[in-house]
Amino acid sequence: MLVPVTNSCISSLVPTAAPRKRMPLRNSSSVTEFILVGLSEQSELRLPLFLLFSGIYVFTVVGNLGLITLIGLNSSLHTPMYFFLFNLSFIDLCYSCVFTPKMLNGFVSENIISYVACMAQLFFFCFFVNSECYVLVSMAYDRYVAICNPLLYTVAMSPRVCSLLMFGSYVVGFAGARAHAGSMLRLSFCDSNTIDHYLCEVLPLLQLSCTSTHVNKLVFSAVVGAVITICSIGILTSYALILSNILHIPSAHGRSKAFSTCGSHIVAVALFFGSGAFTCLTTSFPGAMDQGKFASVFYTNVVPMLNPLIYSLRNKDVKLALGKTLNRVLF
């Protein structure tokens, strides 16, 4: 008789477990900040790389800001061609400022970026890069109209048309950036927070996610595929028609002038899309992130620095406007 009584006493002393509440499932990231590895982890290369990219950044800011100022101050440059060049310089200046200061900081200290700042950097970088692609298409169309339909140029490239082309470039760029950033925000980053890159870009971030990235890869392929398709058709069609028209120009001087008009834009397009395509191809393969980082330096750092030089070195209008501006300022 003692055993049942003892058992009942013991059981009354042990607290019974309260029913567990069911917690709602959340797709949240436990990572609040990321570490950007940068271009190289070798300490002996940090100072030379810091000096090199500081110089590139200064040239980029001075060159693009100078071209923007020059176009704004000279009424002789208030034409469709320079309107698009003004916006191209503005975009180059902005997207260089989005990541380069943080990149330079990584050469002198541990480069930590918050989750919110990383997502913001991703959005603005994608926005400006996508917008630049469509601005280059608008510039190709402008050259097509100028060479193939010069009599209709003022009508076909009226201020309203130019404004609509630029507005469309920014809207489509915004849509692409929103798609990239929106799909990235749905991911969770659980443990690893080290980004093997010098900026928050789509593919390096996907490698850190602890949730499925299938939707993100589809979004990336769709956005990049649309950019490549639309821009390739627009630029190649414009220049095919321009080439066909140039070959029918009887005088050698006329052909030379037409080629020189398009030459700077062709070089800029080749540099930007060529380096961008190579970066996408290299970073798509496992273990090729290092090659992709160094390839991306070309279209993220070098091309924005070169664009003002490409469009102004052999441009008589820009040189003349620069001379007039310097005379007004100095004398």
- Give the per-residue pLDDT at 10: 38
Two structure tokens written together for 22: 């069911």
What pTM did the predictor assign? 0.84
pLDDT of residue 258 exceeding 80, the answer is no
The amino acid at residue 196 is D
Q: Rounded to an integer, what distance in angstroms lies between the CA atom of residue 220 and that of residue 118? A: 18
Nearest to 187 by CA among 172, 174, 204: 204
Q: Rounded to an integer, what distance in angstroms lies between the CA atom of residue 175 and that of residue 225? A: 14
Nearest to 305 by CA among 47, 50, 39, 53: 53
Task: Give the number of other Cβ atoms within 10 Å of residue 17's Cβ.
Answer: 6
Average the pLDDT over each of 50-59, 69-78, 187-196 and give the range with the smallest value: 187-196
Look at residue 196 and give its three-state secondary structure: coil
Angle at 225 between CA 118 and CA 170, to 5 degrees: 60
Residue scoring higher pLDDT (288 or 232): 232
Which residues have C-beta within 8 Å of that of residue 182, sequence separation ≥ 6?
Answer: none
Q: In what order do the strands lie in the sheet containing 194-195?
A: 112-114, 33-36, 194-195
pLDDT tens column, 194-248? 888 889 989 889 888 888 889 999 999 999 999 999 999 999 999 999 988 888 8
Which residues have C-beta within 8 Å of that of residue 244, sequence separation ≥ 6?
Answer: none
Instruction: Check if the beta carbon of residue 177 is closer than 8 Å to that of residue 124.
Output: yes
Task: Give the number of other Cβ atoms within 10 Å of residue 169's Cβ.
Answer: 22
Two structure tokens written together for 78: 């208030």
Q: Which CA distances in Å does 139 have to 22, 215, 239? A: 59, 33, 11
Confirm or reject CATH 2.60.40.10 for domain 32-323, answering yes or no. no
Look at residue 112 and give its three-state secondary structure: strand
Alpha-helical runs (H) found in the chain: 2-13, 46-73, 80-108, 115-148, 153-156, 159-185, 202-206, 214-247, 252-283, 289-297, 303-312, 316-330
Q: How confident is the model at residue 170 (pLDDT cuts 50, 70, 90)?
A: very high
Q: What is the mean pLDDT of the chain?
A: 83
Q: How confident is the model at residue 153 (pLDDT cuts 50, 70, 90)?
A: very high
Q: How confident is the model at residue 160 (pLDDT cuts 50, 70, 90)?
A: very high
pLDDT tens column, 24-67? 334 455 778 899 988 877 878 889 999 999 999 999 999 999 99
Which residues have C-beta within 8 Å of that of residue 242, sequence separation ≥ 6?
Answer: 143, 144, 147, 148, 258, 262
| Percent of residues, the chain, with pLDDT higher than 70 | 87
Q: Rounded to an integer, what distance in angstroms lies between the CA atom of residue 85 and that of residue 198? A: 28
Two structure tokens written together for 131: 């917008």
Q: Which CA distances in Å does 299 have to 273, 293, 309? A: 8, 11, 15
pLDDT tens column, 307-316? 888 888 767 8
The amino acid at residue 129 is V
Residue scoring higher pLDDT (31 or 122): 122
Q: Which CA distances in Å does 153 have to 80, 141, 158? A: 10, 11, 8
